[in-house]
Chain A
Amino acid sequence: MTQIFSPAADTWLRLFLVSLAALAAGSVVFAVGMARSDWYTDTRMHPAAQPVPFSHKHHAGQLGIDCRYCHASVAEGPHAGLPPTHTCMTCHSQVWTTAPMLAPVRASLADKAPLDWHRVARVPDYVYFRHDIHVAKGVGCVECHGRVDTMALTYRAVPLTMQFCLDCHRDPAPRLRPKSEITSMTWTPPKDATAARELGHRLMRAYGIRTGDITHCNVCHR
């Protein structure tokens, strides 16, 4: 009887099966990788559009204004707090009073309408993050917000994934710093590894950090 298939058919079939398997495996790898990508976690991507092109680089970096001047409630409450328009105007009623780029700020003050910022570093609604306790326990701003003093426009510096939070909650020592250095953008632990670890553990004891207790779910989820 006549041949149904060409001699190559066998090869094609095998090829097809192999590529099928490859595709399946590949898509899993892709998905897993994607979830960690800067694009997906919106990390180190182009800054979001803001009503005013505010530059941390200028204010925090060049002028050296302390973070807490604007983010006043960072040590008292869960939210670091964005500066009320009045805070901006304390300076800008004196300097750059007519700068067109500050028009929205003046407008906000004039018609008592809040500035509508785009949040850069945010966690999902079901995460109950508190700034105050982190500041109290010697976690520097830079740990989660990166070198804002070098950001002309602010972008997300680290992927705020649960994994990111857990890494620190499981082993806080390497991320701790003296209270005096909380807002410092440039402080670094001692170069010498043992000294650094030593410092970390000393700080953990000093701050009375309850390692083990701070990794259970209700610490962040309620």
Chain B
Amino acid sequence: MSAAPRTGFDLEAARRRLREEGGRRFWTSVDELTDDAGFRARLSAEFPSAAAMIDAPARRQFLKLMGASLLLTGTAACGDNRSDRARPYVDQPEGLVPGVPRRYATAVTLEGYAQPVLATTYDGRPTKLDGNPDHPATRGKSDAFMQAAIFGLYDPERSKEPTRNGETTTWGAVAAALVAARTRWQANGGEGLRFVMRRTTSPTLQRQFNALFREFPAARVHFSDAVGADERDAATTASFGRPLEIHYALDACDVVVSVDDDLVGPGPQQVRNALAWSTRRGDIAPGQGRTRLHAAESLPSLTGTVASTRLPANPSQMMPLLLAIAAALGATSARAPAPSGHGEAWVRRAVADLRRHAGRGLVTAGAHLDPRLQSLAFAINAHLGNVGQTVFYTEPVHAAFDQAQPLDALAEDIAAGAVNTLVVLDANPAYDAAGARRLRDLIPKVATRIHAGLYRDETASLCAWHLPLAHALESWSDARAVDGTASIVQPVIAPLYSTRNIHQIVEMLNGEIEPVADSAVRETWRRTFGEHFDARWRQSLHDGFVGGSQAQPVSVGASAPSPIEAEASTGALEIVFRPDPTVWDGRFANIAWLQELPKPVTKITWDNVVAISPTLADKLHFANGQIVEVTAGDAKVKGPVWIVPGQAGNTVALYLGYGRRAGGEISRGIGYDAFALRPSRDRWCTHGRILRVEGSATVATTQAHHRMDGFDFVREVTADAPRTPPPKDQSSFYPEWNGAAHAWGMTIDLDRCIGCNACIAACNVENNVAVVGKDQVARGREMLWLRVDRYYEGDIENPRAFFQPVPCMHCEKAPCEMGCPVHATVHSPEGLNQMVYNRCIGTRTCSSYCPYKVRRFNWYDYRKFGEADRAAKNPDVTVRSRGVMEKCTYCTQRIQAAHVAADKENRALRDGDIVTACQQACPTTAITFGDIKDPNAGVSQRRESGRHYVLLEEVGTRPRTTYLARWRDDGEAT
């Protein structure tokens, strides 16, 4: 649903309603707590009916054109009607079996870190990425960015050939130009030669640049990262004298105190942390003790959602809070002012738990926080003896260069005319640098400007030369995962366009004319592997990582924290910046499919908003959708405001990654550019003003705004009452199903779920789920087969939040099945609620009858939308046409494949033969699928856990998908 403001937000009214409701009650957003009349007015003003038709087809038309630009052979599933022709290979590759998927281990990267993957390819066409189950850091789990990489590969708007001043040119010409340039650089040792790139973990890139700098000692490199880890490096340098990588062992923690550190939130660390956290969390059972998570944060995050106690605190309060903890534990001599109100209680609990669990506890401070603050956290851990137990330090995983300089220096030098050549490698400073506005003016002043990247982005448009980079899945490269384990990146498909990988381009800078795609990488590892090269190289490619290459812990002296004082809060509005949870710093902004992925907390799609706290909304009388202007210094941005329950009172959050000016039609012009406001020092927080301006925007969210009075969709158990009531026997007039050998079922453990979207992402890719666009989402027509519902409970200023993934329930007594007049949705002997697209005529009775509303309908021909990445479609799943119903199938194609495999061997199916896409991706193993008839199956054991319950049991549908209640732990000292 979408919202456009009519009335202001009224905190008192909201509070009053909460009081009136009484009892245990949930709510899902602030609109329902405010005046319903205003809400109604907004909704009725929602679809200017006349306009209804204008843009939906227009958008699809556009995307159709876009798709037409991609000429790849379609798959049978794409319904392209040439299936009466058959074109065999001329020379069939050895061992290739048409229609049988092959899997290759490789890696994609996020923030330079390797995300190890197994790429599934059909007849040479990568269609799906999954985590590499053997990898020590991620154990086969994934996150949304990794799942989406496949769409990055097939994005038809990627740069396709090298250009000079916009004119297409050849790689030959590029080489020639570089040779000429090199002679100039050689003349002066590379004086005025500057590189701009993002932080990288690639050993090959390190080696190549070392060579480059040996030849051109005067050259300099500037790292341009919108997110990066500058503050973390500064902190470790301050504490330990050199930058270090920090590794948390959450699976070893009894208590974790997070000071504005989104441990399980989106980012390169998410999978590892979530996995470890849930492993520890999984141990929870009566008598086995608990893990506690105390979180203080300014914005509601996934970490705060799963925390035992959560304290909303403005950024300026973080220092006093941590100081108070340090002081109470005797880890600092600094004077600590007593934190106020809730803060005091929170600190007391945190301190008590940390003391009790010294050596089994952990204090973390967000990597974006003031380095002094982070150092203090290090000191506390050292003081409690946590180092080596729950936290480890290693040498940096990132490549480091003596020639590295901050980006500001580049601006100064250009202004001073000291730069004659600028080489931007896979970075976009003209958009995502703190001083981007200034750089946009300065870059054109440089004589020779070369940009290498995936897209003709903001920076590319300022550079004379644009060299298209190959996508990670087309490239030979290498990278290191968060734990330091190196992966060799091998291509899973030949480059779709006339592109070269980054190593080839650096080789060209090193004087090569026609560098071979893999020569540089091989060279690097030849040196590492020595005489065992061939064997270890093959082994590493096969495994997807270089065995035993983890970063080894280093012992560091517990250094005294730099003396700090908590400065008093100025009381000015605190504006914080965060990477967007689905498009990150903008590098994924052109992937329509990530744009449509609901943001985990707000459920917003296709947009970034100005997130404000209910308190602030109340004070300023803002309502969702109201356009506001946020001003800091002389810079200002305009965007729709969004009230986020649980956000710290004085905090305004701006999300990066939107307001793109170039780099693709999908991303251009949606949202606002938060970088415009971002200061270059202290990048993550600034002070400013917010004021109402005319107008309002439609913000498309996937969750309607309504109360949940007294229902118990999400249940909880506590240490005192650790069991849910056993399911009641629901009588039915319909006969029991005559059982087949198996009965498929799924359990979802709400105690482990962190709402990270990995399951949705995996489901979308596996099942060819269509992207429909903002306008359709706003109409309530998103196609997600698996949705993650989000509920709130309690005070609007600090509510408890709950995530609940809802796929099809596969009811044994399914209302949908008796409704369909043509047998298009029927029950299988194994208990699947089957949806037969080619039989469906679209009466939509099934959806009307469905108590869970998990069914999705193709209101238009959404296939046109997916035209662009048709090559990414899973050939084992029908691409649904207009007018048919669809829904979660328990990945029936995987079930059938497993059956065929077992039947060919003439054996019975084993537990684990079938893994659904969501289950496979889930970093916290919250989802279990299997045969509920088999008492030893994982799913059966979860159902016996005592926390098992059925959603909407009273309706008598007997779902096969069931839930495990969440553990409630208020963090009271025990």
Contacts and interface: CB of A to CB of B under 8 A. Distances in A.
A73 B838 contact: no
B353 to A, nearest CB: 50
A204 B87 CA distance: 36
Interface in A62-102: 73, 76-79, 81-86
B892 interface: yes
Given A216-B826, A217-B836, A130 B900 contact: yes
B555 to A, nearest CB: 54
B85 A117 contact: yes
Contacts of B421: none
Q: Which of B84, B97, B830 is most buried by chain A, counting CB atoms within 10 A of its CB?
A: B97
Interface in B81-99: 83-92, 97-99
A73 B97 contact: yes
B836 A119 contact: no
B834 to A, nearest CB: 5
Contact of B829 (A85, A86, A116, A212): A212
A108 B832 CA distance: 47
Interface string B87-117: 1111110000111100000000000000000
B740 A116 contact: no
Contacts of A126: 837-838, 878
A208 B903 contact: yes
B85 A124 contact: no
A73 B88 CA distance: 12
A136 interface: yes
A208 B89 contact: no
Contacts of B76: 125
Contacts, number: 121
Contacts of A119: 83-86
Given A115-B88, A130-B900, A79 B83 contact: no
- Interface class of chain A by DSSP: loop
B101 to A, nearest CB: 10
A137 B900 CA distance: 10
Interface in A91-140: 108-109, 112-119, 122, 124-126, 128, 130, 132-133, 136-137
A219 interface: yes
Q: Which of B90, B876, B900 is most buried by chain A, counting CB atoms within 10 A of its CB?
A: B90
A218 interface: yes
Nearest to A88: B88
Contacts of B837: 126, 221
Contacts of B92: 84, 86
B740 A222 contact: no
A16 interface: no
Contacts of A116: 85, 87
Given A83-B88, A86-B92, A212-B740, A77 B896 contact: no
Contacts of A218: 828, 832, 834, 889, 892, 895-896
A79 B875 CA distance: 13
Q: Which of B837, B877, B896 is most buried by chain A, counting CB atoms within 10 A of its CB?
A: B896
B741 interface: yes
A76 B741 CA distance: 26
Contacts of A83: 88
Given A86-B90, A117-B87, A118-B85, A222 B878 contact: yes
A85 B91 contact: yes
Contact of A109 (B90, B100, B893): B90
Contact of A222 (B87, B90, B896, B903): B896
Contacts of B830: 213
B86 A117 contact: yes
Interface in A176-222: 207-208, 210, 212-213, 216-219, 221-222
B179 interface: no
Contacts of A86: 90-92
- Interface class of chain B by DSSP: loop
Size band of the A side of the interface?
35 or more
B79 interface: yes
Contact of A112 (B90, B878, B906): B90
A125 B873 CA distance: 14
Contacts of A78: 98-100
Contact of A82 (B79, B86, B834, B892): B86
Contact of B876 (A84, A118, A128, A136): A128
A126 B838 CA distance: 7
A77 B97 contact: yes
A126 B884 CA distance: 13
B834 A216 contact: yes
A197 to B, nearest CB: 22
A84 B834 contact: no
Contact of B87 (A115, A130, A133): A115
Contacts of A216: 826, 828-829, 834
Nearest to A219: B896
A76 B98 CA distance: 9
Interface string B60-93: 0000000000000000110100011111111110
Contact of B88 (A77, A81, A217): A81
B88 A114 contact: yes
B904 interface: yes
B77 A76 contact: no
Interface string B906-939: 1000000000000000000000000000000000
A113 B90 CA distance: 7
Interface of A: 73, 76-79, 81-86, 108-109, 112-119, 122, 124-126, 128, 130, 132-133, 136-137, 207-208, 210, 212-213, 216-219, 221-222
Q: Which 5 A-B pairs give the minimum distances between C-beta atoms?
A: A82-B88, A114-B87, A126-B838, A84-B92, A78-B99
26 contacts: A79-B99, A81-B98, A84-B88, A109-B90, A116-B85, A119-B83, A122-B83, A122-B84, A124-B838, A125-B76, A125-B878, A126-B838, A130-B900, A136-B903, A136-B904, A137-B903, A208-B903, A210-B740, A210-B903, A212-B740, A213-B830, A218-B892, A218-B895, A221-B836, A222-B876, A222-B878
